[in-house]
Amino acid sequence: MEALLPIIFVAIMGLALLLYVILDGYDLGVGLLLPLASDKEKDVMIASIGPFWDANETWIVLGVGVLLIAFPAAHGIILTSLYVPATVMLLGLILRGVAFDFRVKAGSHRKAMWNQLFFVGSLLASTAQGWMLGSYITGLEHTQLNMVFSILIALCLPALYCVLGASWLMIKTEDELFLKAAVWAKKSLSPMAVGLLLVSIATPLVSQVIADRWFQLPQFIGLLPIPIASVIALSLLYVLLSRTPEQLLMTNPWMIFMCPVIICVMAALGLAYSIFPDIIIGQLTIWEAAAHTSSLKFTFVGVVIALPCIFVYTIFVYRVFSGKASELTYD
């Protein structure tokens, strides 16, 4: 049990961060797409994420909380190394929260400004997250090559969020905005695909540990389903988005949304395999970074209570607000 607890906690942390990327990823994507819409469409877009965006951010709180409590040694190293992008991310998320409320409450003459700030906050948060992920994959080493790699992921992640955001809008909207979202998703698909390809090529180049784990037999054969599933999901997404407007309106938008979700899941599985059993590549294993067993057991009780509550609340919110979005008001 003592050896198993760190594995359980790192799995919970990984699941929380994956859910954050998917769920908060789509509402960050909606924020990134906001400048492309008309004023009326902006209201509907904000309304499409209104009931969910706060709950979506719960997952990153859980993930970072598990890192702090269960792996304090790793928490200190990671957040110290990523202090600047983490601060930028938090500023972006705060700016989004402020802009979300004040875009309506401050009056129509200030609405355009708050819409722009909502976009800026979304851009800051998404690029900072990409930078943090790139730095983490390279073992938190600040070499010139690793900096270039971090910039690459910082540019790639917003494109993924745009695809998620546009796909979500296709679920929550109708008619003209639905078709506009399909166009936005298709236009974001190419930079996302190119970015994923470049990241796949660059990752083993910047990390010898990851290269050794992926390009040795028989592991290479066993890992083939991950890139194959990603390519199939990407190809299916392209085919679905290439349909005529009439065909798109007849398509189940959840099929479109699930394609980037599958890509996220495959990327998470690949990253987990690349890193495990390290929590910081080449520096700390999960057992070296883990808190004392008594602390893990005490924390485990809290997680067993909290995690199902978060799941139930999330499912409840998504079920209650499962219909199409309408214009956001505070009346």
Task: Supply the DSSP symbol for 230.
Answer: H
Cross-strand bridge partners of residue 278 = 285
Find, among 159, 154, 156, 155, the residue nearest to 128 by Cα: 154
**Which pLDDT does position 87 carry in this prediction?**
92
| Orientation of helix 58-70 relative to helix 293-320, angle to 10° | 180
Query: How far apart, in whole angstroms, are the C-alpha atoms of residue 182 and residue 257?
Result: 11
Query: How far apart, in whole angstroms, are the C-alpha atoms of residue 158 and residue 180?
Result: 18
Q: Where are the domains of the chain?
A: 4-320
> What Cα–Cα distance (Å) separates residue 297 from each residue in 122, 293, 294, 326?
37, 6, 5, 46
**Which pLDDT does position 167 carry in this prediction?**
93
**Which pLDDT does position 1 carry in this prediction?**
60
> Concatenated DSSP letters for 70-92?
H-HHHHHHHHHHTHHHHHHHHHH
Query: How far apart, in whole angstroms, are the C-alpha atoms of residue 200 and residue 204?
Result: 8
Name the CA radius of gyration of the chain, rounded.
20
pLDDT along the chain (331 residues), means of 10: 82 90 90 89 86 82 86 86 89 88 72 88 92 83 79 87 93 88 90 82 73 76 85 91 85 90 90 84 84 86 88 87 69 53
Tokens of 48: 């499409």
> What Cα–Cα distance (Å) separates residue 155 from each residue in 19, 94, 127?
21, 21, 6
- The CATH class for the domain spanning 4-320 reads mainly alpha
**Which pLDDT does position 331 carry in this prediction?**
53
pTM of this prediction exceeds 0.85? yes
**Which pLDDT does position 329 carry in this prediction?**
58
H helices of the chain, in order, are 4-33, 39-49, 53-56, 58-70, 72-81, 83-105, 108-137, 144-172, 175-206, 208-214, 219-223, 225-241, 245-250, 253-275, 286-289, 293-320
**Which pLDDT does position 4 carry in this prediction?**
85
